[in-house]
Structure 1
């Protein structure tokens, strides 16, 4: 059977992480961030009590069955930078999977993670795979560049393995225009579009078009995909990096 999408589950977290309310943790994090920000002449951090931990968000989404490989994809930094989250998840996830994180690629990070998992699976090395896409809504400092901060803490677990919804190799096109998505997804049964592509929804030739929550820059398309049954094409665009990303399942 081909390798592909088995299921997806999304969850939002209305309350901040338990560690965010710990005064000792907040003091250490403030010192750590202040030292980093001072090097670039940026102001002191503030508002850390509302942040969330990617490890804490991912824990309830881990499967009961063993996993061979796990990738955590994120863009907004974790409120708990002192923990190597992917390594920790490898320890607590059934199967003790090979695990690592993908970041600093904006919305393309999840698609890169999927490409890596697919390549491993097709080599016969790690067939049962888990892609965790997460974003927390607290950025307690000015990064000095425009950043779209999500409205809510959200994490999505996408499970892969033997499936009739075969996963093709994700396409990540640099320097693309948002309108390029129309040709790239033409003829699909169901298309999920990221918020930066919503204005082109009426031009997409598909049986069904689902729009991601505009308040969730990175997890939006994967959260929307979790609500769709059957073959689906997921498309997202990072306006800052000008990456157009498309993945087809089935």
Structure 2
């Protein structure tokens, strides 16, 4: 049986993390961010009362069965930057998996993480794995460049292993102009196509087309994918970093 998608779950978190209401944590976070921002002359950070913790969000989505590897993919930093979140999740997750995080790649981060897990499984190691894609909606400073901040806290977990929903190797194209997206996609095959937030006007041939929530830059496409039954392809485009990503199952 091939390696692929076994199950996918998603959840939005309307409440902030418990740490967000902790005055001592807020003070330490302010000092930490101030020190990081000073060399870039970006000014002091704003309070972060509504932030979420990726450790708390991902913990709510951990599977009951053991896994060999766990990867957390995110873009927006969370309310607990001092925590080694992947290590923390490895401690909580059944199987005590090897764990790490992928970030600083915009929307491509989750596709990169999936590609790494695919390569691990193909090599015969870490066949049972979990991909967690998460984003939280509080950014306590101006990064100095345009950035899309999600509207809500959201996390999606993909349980991967031996499955009839075989995972293709994710395609990640760099330096892609928006006008070049259709030519690079080619034939996406049968099944459902999920289009990321910046691809709402894209004309594709598929059994069904689902549009991701554009207010959730990182998780919107994966959240929509988790609700699809049968073969599915997710197409993401990051206009700031000019990445085009395609991940397919089944």
TM-score scaled by length of structure 2 = 0.97
In 2, Cα distance between the equivalents of 1:180 and 1:113? 24
Matched, 1:212 2:215: no
Per the alignment, residue 92 of structure 1 pairs with 92
Query: Retained in 2: the 8 A contact 1:47–1:138?
Result: no
* 1:52 Cα deviation from its structure 2 partner: 0.5
Residue 28 of structure 1 aligns to a residue whose secondary structure is helix
In 2, Cα distance between the equivalents of 1:209 and 1:219? 17
User: 5 Å matches for 1:49-60?
Assistant: 49-60=49-60
Structure 1 residue runs without a partner (length 5+): none
Per the alignment, residue 71 of structure 2 pairs with 71
User: 5 Å matches for 1:1-250?
Assistant: 1-183=1-183, 184=185, 186=187, 187-200=189-202, 203-250=203-250
TM-score scaled by length of structure 1 = 0.97
* 1:190 Cα deviation from its structure 2 partner: 0.8
* 1:177 Cα deviation from its structure 2 partner: 3.0
Query: Retained in 2: the 8 A contact 1:70–1:100?
Result: yes
In 1, Cα distance between the equivalents of 2:179 and 2:227? 25
Query: Retained in 2: the 8 A contact 1:5–1:158?
Result: yes
Greater than 6 Å deviation, 4+ residue runs: none
Aligned residues: 248
In 2, Cα distance between the equivalents of 1:79 and 1:210? 31
Alpha carbon RMSD of aligned pairs, Å? Answer: 1.0
* 1:176 Cα deviation from its structure 2 partner: 1.5
Residue 199 of structure 1 aligns to a residue whose secondary structure is coil
* 1:137 Cα deviation from its structure 2 partner: 0.2
Q: Give a deviation string over 1:15-59, Cα, whole Å, max 9, x none.
A: 100000000000000011111111111111113111000000001
Structure 2 residue runs without a partner (length 5+): none
* 1:11 Cα deviation from its structure 2 partner: 0.2
In 2, Cα distance between the equivalents of 1:51 and 1:193? 27
